[in-house]
Amino acid sequence: MMKISVTVNMCDLTDRDLKQMCQLGIDYVDFGKGSSFPGVQEQGYPDLDQLLQLRRRVRSFGLDMNRVTLPDFTDRFMNNLPGCEKELENSSLAVKVFGEAGLLIVRQRFAGDTAPVLTNGYKAVQRGGAVARGESLGLMKNKPEMPSLKEWERFWSRFMEAFRTLVPLAEDYNVKLTVHPSDTPNHGTLFGGLGFHRIIDAFPSKNVGFVYCVGTRAEEGGSSLVMDEINHYGRKGKICLVHLRNVRGSLPTAGAFEEALLDDGDLNVFKILLELRKVGYEGCINPDHITQLEGDSIDLDQNWAHSGIGWKSSSIGWGYSIGYVRALLTALAEFEGKRYGH
């Protein structure tokens, strides 16, 4: 049966954080920043002993760690600049450390996977004054140039070099190596629908998969694209974690999109869970990009303004989203005549 996870962007979780997660019925914690793990700043990759201490602490509250993040590949690596080989070495060592710690889903980030930025962000005000992230193609008047074919090929060459090293390690340490779709999913972004196909064509390993982001993919093609991709990648066992959010509009249909509360967008979230269940998905559902409700604080990161990216204790939006997903999973279990819960 599917479980619930939330993303945090730091490792120094307080007792308040962990108690609230337990009280809300969260099962797992996902760690979204590779640089946040103890040891990364000092040596370039996580320290195993401190990582195990962190996991023991999380488990003492009835939770566990789910997805973790490798050190980033920066522009230095993607442009093959002097010293870039150290980044690949650090990610390789991180795979080994996470595998030894029993953390079996890792995400790798690549600089440039979301460029160029063709949309202009804005504050989307929705029912009752709720605030969400919006992005529009039409509002961006001075659009940057698209990458040339040569630049596109260089990105894929560097991606291939990284994965040729990381995939065998993932297999050796029984780790799922994943990427997240490009967000925002503008035309020409590398990890869109075609990019996902290229990845599994080049690396058909059972240890290669995706953090499947429902919201990002809906922004590229709406509900029908999401359902088709879940069916396609789910049947191949390539969905390792699901980011669940609802959106209004899409770039192809409206030239814009707005994130929305789970019950207030274009997607039927329960149908999405049914489709995931149909293809045998039993991983975590992670409600992400939380709409800001009255009393909640706006995210200070301007790259994600008006969107709750990481967990915040006592956030009404987080509490709403987690409760909504728990209710849907309970309904799904009842629908199937099974039991859900602890």
Contacts of 64 (CB under 8 A, 6+ apart): 27, 28, 29, 55, 58
Range list of β-strands (E), 160-300: 176-179, 208-213, 239-244, 246-248, 256-260, 284-287
Does residue 165 lie in a domain region?
yes
CA 97 to chain centroid, in Å, comes to: 21
β pairing state of 208-213 and 239-244? parallel
Q: Which two tokens stand for residue 170?
A: 């993932």
What residues make up the domain containing 178?
A: 3-336
Q: How many CB atoms lie within 10 A of CB 301?
A: 11
Furthest-apart CA atoms within the chain: distance in Å:
59
With beta carbons less than 8 A apart as the criterion, state whether 218 and 140 touch.
no
* pLDDT (0 to 100) of residue 341: 64
Please give the helix or strand (H or E) that residue 8 lies within, else none.
Answer: strand 3-8
Quick check: 246 and 259 in contact, CB under 8 A? yes
From the centroid of its chain, how far is CA 252?
22
Phi, psi of 116 (to 5 degrees): -85, 160
Q: Indicate which CATH number applies to the domain containing 175.
A: 3.20.20.150
Whether residue 342 is contained in a domain is answered as no
Inside any domain, residue 120: yes
Per-residue pLDDT, 149: 87
Residue 338 has what pLDDT?
72
Q: What is the pLDDT of residue 298?
A: 67
Task: Extract long-range pairs of 187-190: CB within 8 Å, 24+ residues apart.
Answer: 187/118, 187/146, 188/116, 188/146, 188/147, 188/152, 189/113, 189/114, 189/115, 190/110, 190/112, 190/113, 190/152, 190/155, 190/156, 190/159
Cβ(182)–Cβ(195) below 8 Å: yes
In a domain, 271, yes or no: yes
The tens place of each residue's pLDDT in the chain, 342 residues long, gives 899 999 999 999 999 999 999 999 999 999 998 999 999 999 999 999 999 999 999 999 999 999 999 999 999 999 999 999 999 999 999 999 999 999 999 999 999 888 778 899 999 999 999 999 999 999 988 888 888 889 889 999 999 999 999 999 999 999 999 999 999 998 888 899 899 999 999 999 999 999 999 999 999 999 999 999 999 999 999 999 999 999 999 999 999 999 999 999 999 999 999 999 999 999 999 999 999 999 887 665 677 778 888 898 889 999 999 999 999 999 999 877 776 665
- The pair phi, psi for residue 121, each rounded to 5°, is -75, 150
Question: Residue 140's pLDDT is what?
Answer: 87
Give the type of residue at 169. Answer: L
Closest CA to 64 of 329, 298, 318, 284: 284
- pLDDT of amino acid 299: 65
Q: Which amino acid is at 107?
A: R
- 3-state SS track over 124-159: EECHHHCEEEEEECCCCCCCCCCCCHHHHHHHHHHH
Which residues make beta-bridge pairs with 125?
131
Whole-number pLDDT of residue 239: 98
Number of domains in the chain: 1
